[in-house]
Chain A
């Protein structure tokens, strides 16, 4: 299948700097439209010259403190409610931005250059908003438009090169069911996502005892390309957590930074599925983990942002995994097709399909390049890809530090950043050229 390029539009949301919010007041946000993530970094463009628009987002009044967002995480969302939310979101946007976006969409032709709308913010009050519901004046959801791919992005300066993987793609499945919480029905949970993971395209391993130690051991001994987590999630101190087991099979919370520490570099996609056979603590935790700071080396993720039912889960994952193979690892396309499948296969009165969120953490959504046959350059290419990945991680961490420090950054840090980002680009280029050979 031909590789798909996208026409990217990036909407970066910030809190208005001068806005001091007292209790009960709504914050004012700034929306800065741009082309892609590179505009957010030092030395890459004059990002400060980009125009920013004031927007009043429909977040709850308590969002500054609890960051819960528009809807509570304990409820599923009905289709009518979803349409109202989507239109409300749309109406809150400046007309210049809406117009510009609509022009781009109309100009795009399906399968050639779809418009990829990237929502970007460091604020959980923004990322908690179900942007996937965004609907135009007519009430039609933009996510489901054939010319639109609506994703979130946690920006990185330099995208790592895709890791070339010859099928079967290794998938590690984690189903957690600690005894101090309401018990899931693991078999049903597994079966709901299992349908698309067919051999010979995928090789599935299931971790029997999902303690942190067992997970670390498994990741070291059998590094997977995809981790699929099914279970509950929680929010602590604003951070999302997934639930593992401790040594007594009780609840053990794992946050994004700790997850990043144990991941082998082979993992290019994490899918965080909310369980459906038992009530969740707070499904929003899954999406929060996926939006963790860019300084944690986490891969691109798919997460649920609110609870949903079995038919939608089955429809989504049954479509997603085969589509990922078909699109040679392009998560944007597989996700879009799975959303459409969930919309079609889910209950007619629900908006379960919009519970799925794609959060790009590699800028491209193409961190895997899935092939079916080995090539002669495998060893050299693999070494080059791995080497470039680590180099881009370093450059991205430094870029993040500079972004955080702003004008206070010293010239030494800038020099380091410049030399390491040059090195990373060179290694990415080298890896890409080997791929082409």
Chain B
């Protein structure tokens, strides 16, 4: 876990000097710099902003550095720069900690801008560059983030996995053409194994992307924790309000054309929901909208600010894109973002910084690509944590125990017909056996389904997989560790009991994911195997995924009739820093078929 000091600044317009901004240090590890402030005329220009927004060739590395340096001159104006350097030096050298930089934006964006000037929220803080320190926002030691309050004020939301995520892909007919299915595929690809059955994220799509359906979904009994909007933003007149305002475009039920939802309506929808994290990205499959001012994606930024700024709002973090994000970068960002979001040891600014870093080092994006600057995060959650994630369901609560019992009962119930079907196959003609094989598949399928449901309730598990093996032949049974949150694993130890009348132990091989440490598998006659794996994650944190630790091989006895047999995990330990982690174990089931 990275530990951080905090360097917090407020940045706002200087009301007494139009066109000037003021910056003040309100928190620093170096106490004596707190309170320092500067008033200045911002040097960052709209021309530079246009260069960043340019879709027909983004700035090269030197241009990016120049832009970043201007941001530095703006945010770290005058004496603030030295205060920052001192604070950083203290953090890194003496406190041995990182230093998060939090920027509270206090301005209202209704200021009248001079030619070539930008508003405070338009300042691409994330591009900040200093000659010696390089780009700060991709460095995990100095994560950058934005806020709208002087101090974070919302406690992390306690939630048991899975996180429930609703994705709205809105592709109105009157907007640049976008393919909803490609958007859906992109987000599924980005989320990868996180959304597989029993995974840490439950993904739903809001179809159709209309205001009625979105409203219904946000108020349904099973609450959503994350809302990810993919679509078009805009500025314009919405309903009866004559002033132009930022909005997102849903689809009308009747015509499938744009149905603009302004920030107030969107806020009202969210206030009546359990959504705590809002993510807004433009359609990656859409043709770019005309290069105009105001730029469409700014609408997302405006929406995010409105929603995060509400005094009684529940949404404690919003991620919006300040420029178009190409689809390849969007996939990298989304995958990294959600995977690290599940790490209970990581704060939100670390999560975003990690995602920026991954975009910046990804191949194929080209030198000087500014994609990593694009994501903007606003947050007001204490400790930088939107969620207080419980990896394991509350297995002690009555409801979960009841559900577990239901699935266990179901497994036991289906074992009976499975065993009877396999008995029935004995001594029957081949044609009958072939027909009865369908029954075996049916009952095995039901057992597998129930095991999956049980695994979901159990949370993080160590599982020994079974399968079909012919009498007299060998089967390799993978030992799988299923992680729902990111963490290092120091030790895995398990004892497996088998029926020596039906199978014998036949050796082991190391699993593809067990990169570090020693693997010892020893037989404990007459019917037990002990597996010990030291430091399987090689000292690194493992992200939520299924990890193959080893394969245990068993040989089915010769001339066995069709039957099933259990590989029972009798005891096990999964630990980190010598502390046992709250894992559950799942047994394997072998179906022994007759020899061909």
Q: How far is the CA of A40 from the CA of B536 in the complex (A)?
A: 56
Q: How far is the CA of A401 from the CA of B410 in the complex (A)?
A: 11
Given contacts A401-B409, A410-B406, contact A394 B429 (CB under 8 A): no
Partner of A297, one of B403, B413, B416: B416
How many B residues have CB within 8 A of the partner chain?
24
Partner of B409, one of A383, A393, A413: A413
Contact present for A383 and B435 (CB under 8 Å):
yes
CB of B216 within 8 A of chain A? no
Partner of A390, one of B417, B429, B431: B417
Contact present for A412 and B417 (CB under 8 Å):
no
Contact present for A223 and B426 (CB under 8 Å):
yes
Q: How far is the CA of A380 from the CA of B429 in the complex (A)?
A: 11
Q: How far is the CA of A253 from the CA of B428 in the complex (A)?
A: 31
B418-447 contact mask (Cβ, 8 Å, vs A): 1 or 0: 001101101111011001101100000000
- Closest chain B CB from A403 CB (angstroms): 14
A364-391 contact mask (Cβ, 8 Å, vs B): 1 or 0: 0000000000000001101110110111
Q: Which residues of A contact B420 (CB under 8 A)?
A: 265, 297, 389-390, 393
Q: Which residues of A contact B436 (CB under 8 A)?
A: 383, 386-387
Q: How far is the CA of A401 from the CA of B405 in the complex (A)?
A: 13
Contact present for A387 and B435 (CB under 8 Å):
yes
Q: Which residues of B contact A220 (CB under 8 A)?
A: 423, 426-427, 561
- Closest chain B CB from A389 CB (angstroms): 8
CB of A87 within 8 A of chain B? no
CB of B508 within 8 A of chain A? no
Within 8 A of B (CB), among A266-315: 266, 297
Q: Which residues of B contact A35 (CB under 8 A)?
A: none
Contact present for B416 and A382 (CB under 8 Å):
no
Q: How far is the CA of A220 from the CA of B414 in the complex (A)?
A: 21
Residue in B closest to A379 when the chains form the complex, CB atoms: B431
Partner of A386, one of B406, B410, B416, B432: B432
- Closest chain B CB from A435 CB (angstroms): 15
Partner of A394, one of B414, B428, B438: B414
CB of B402 within 8 A of chain A? yes
Q: Which residues of A contact B414 (CB under 8 A)?
A: 394
CB of A397 within 8 A of chain B? yes
Q: How far is the CA of A394 from the CA of B439 in the complex (A)?
A: 12
B18-34 contact mask (Cβ, 8 Å, vs A): 1 or 0: 00000000000000000
Q: Which residues of A contact B427 (CB under 8 A)?
A: 220-223
- Closest chain A CB from B440 CB (angstroms): 10
Q: Which residues of B contact A264 (CB under 8 A)?
A: 423-424, 426
Within 8 A of A (CB), among B348-388: none
Residue in B closest to A381 when the chains form the complex, CB atoms: B432
Q: How far is the CA of A384 from the CA of B410 in the complex (A)?
A: 24
Q: Which residues of B contact A222 (CB under 8 A)?
A: 427
Q: How far is the CA of A223 from the CA of B435 in the complex (A)?
A: 19
Q: How far is the CA of A413 from the CA of B439 in the complex (A)?
A: 21
Q: How far is the CA of A342 from the CA of B398 in the complex (A)?
A: 58
Within 8 A of B (CB), among A20-58: none
Given contacts A264-B426, A297-B416, A379-B431, contact A390 B421 (CB under 8 A): yes
Contact present for B424 and A265 (CB under 8 Å):
yes
Given contacts A223-B426, A264-B426, A410-B406, contact A379 B417 (CB under 8 A): no
CB of A398 within 8 A of chain B? yes
Contact present for A382 and B423 (CB under 8 Å):
no
Contact present for A387 and B416 (CB under 8 Å):
no
Residue in B closest to A222 when the chains form the complex, CB atoms: B427
Given contacts A265-B423, A412-B406, contact A390 B413 (CB under 8 A): no
A214-228 contact mask (Cβ, 8 Å, vs B): 1 or 0: 000000111100000
- Closest chain B CB from A294 CB (angstroms): 13
Contact present for B426 and A383 (CB under 8 Å):
no
B559-591 contact mask (Cβ, 8 Å, vs A): 1 or 0: 001000000000000000000000000000000
Contact present for B413 and A379 (CB under 8 Å):
no
- Closest chain B CB from A336 CB (angstroms): 31
Partner of A410, one of B402, B424, B431: B402
Residue in B closest to A265 when the chains form the complex, CB atoms: B424
Q: Which residues of A contact B406 (CB under 8 A)?
A: 410, 412-413
Q: Which residues of A contact B426 (CB under 8 A)?
A: 220, 223, 264
CB of A416 within 8 A of chain B? yes
- Closest chain A CB from B168 CB (angstroms): 31
Q: Which residues of A contact B435 (CB under 8 A)?
A: 379-380, 383-384, 387
- Closest chain B CB from A386 CB (angstroms): 5
Residue in A closest to B438 when the chains form the complex, CB atoms: A387
Residue in A closest to B418 when the chains form the complex, CB atoms: A390
Q: How far is the CA of A383 from the CA of B410 in the complex (A)?
A: 25
Q: Which residues of A contact B439 (CB under 8 A)?
A: 387, 390-391
Residue in A closest to B412 when the chains form the complex, CB atoms: A397
Contact present for A394 and B431 (CB under 8 Å):
no
Contact present for B432 and A416 (CB under 8 Å):
no
Q: Which residues of A contact B424 (CB under 8 A)?
A: 264-266, 386, 389-390
Within 8 A of B (CB), among A392-428: 393-394, 397-398, 401, 410, 412-413, 416
Given contacts A379-B431, A413-B406, contact A394 B423 (CB under 8 A): no
Residue among A383, A401, A416 facing the most chain B CB atoms (10 A cut-off): A383
Residue in A closest to B406 when the chains form the complex, CB atoms: A412
Q: Which residues of B contact A380 (CB under 8 A)?
A: 435
Q: How far is the CA of A266 from the CA of B426 in the complex (A)?
A: 10
Q: Which residues of B contact A297 (CB under 8 A)?
A: 416, 420
Contact present for B402 and A397 (CB under 8 Å):
no
Q: Which residues of B contact A383 (CB under 8 A)?
A: 431-432, 435-436
Contact present for B410 and A416 (CB under 8 Å):
yes
Residue in B closest to A417 when the chains form the complex, CB atoms: B413
Q: How far is the CA of A386 from the CA of B435 in the complex (A)?
A: 10
Residue in A closest to B435 when the chains form the complex, CB atoms: A383
Q: How far is the CA of A223 from the CA of B403 in the complex (A)?
A: 39
Contact present for A382 and B409 (CB under 8 Å):
no
B197-234 contact mask (Cβ, 8 Å, vs A): 1 or 0: 00000000000000000000000000000000000000
Q: How far is the CA of A111 from the CA of B13 in the complex (A)?
A: 104
Q: How far is the CA of A410 from the CA of B403 in the complex (A)?
A: 9
Partner of A393, one of B403, B417, B432, B561: B417
Q: Which residues of A contact B432 (CB under 8 A)?
A: 379, 382-383, 386
- Closest chain B CB from A18 CB (angstroms): 29
- Closest chain A CB from B134 CB (angstroms): 57
Q: Which residues of A contact B403 (CB under 8 A)?
A: 412
Q: How far is the CA of A265 from the CA of B416 in the complex (A)?
A: 12
Q: Which residues of A contact B423 (CB under 8 A)?
A: 220, 264-265
- Closest chain B CB from A387 CB (angstroms): 5
- Closest chain B CB from A319 CB (angstroms): 31
Q: How far is the CA of A391 from the CA of B424 in the complex (A)?
A: 12
Contact present for B416 and A379 (CB under 8 Å):
no
- Closest chain A CB from B480 CB (angstroms): 26
- Closest chain A CB from B451 CB (angstroms): 15
- Closest chain A CB from B423 CB (angstroms): 5
Q: How far is the CA of A182 from the CA of B273 in the complex (A)?
A: 79
Q: Which residues of A contact B561 (CB under 8 A)?
A: 220
Residue in B closest to A391 when the chains form the complex, CB atoms: B417
Contact present for A394 and B410 (CB under 8 Å):
no
- Closest chain A CB from B434 CB (angstroms): 8
Q: Which residues of A contact B438 (CB under 8 A)?
A: 387
Q: How far is the CA of A383 from the CA of B434 in the complex (A)?
A: 9
Q: How far is the CA of A384 from the CA of B435 in the complex (A)?
A: 8
Contact present for B417 and A382 (CB under 8 Å):
no
Contact present for A397 and B428 (CB under 8 Å):
no
Known: A265-B424, A297-B416, A389-B424. 7 other contacts (CB 8 A): A220-B423, A220-B426, A379-B435, A384-B435, A390-B417, A410-B406, A416-B410
8 residue pairs bridging A and B, Cβ less than 8 Å apart: A220-B423, A220-B427, A220-B561, A264-B424, A379-B431, A379-B432, A390-B420, A416-B413
Question: Which A residues lie at the B interface, using CB under 8 A?
Answer: 220-223, 264-266, 297, 379-380, 382-384, 386-387, 389-391, 393-394, 397-398, 401, 410, 412-413, 416
- What 9 pairs across the A-B complex have the smallest Cβ distances? A383-B435, A390-B417, A394-B417, A379-B431, A386-B424, A383-B432, A390-B420, A412-B406, A265-B424
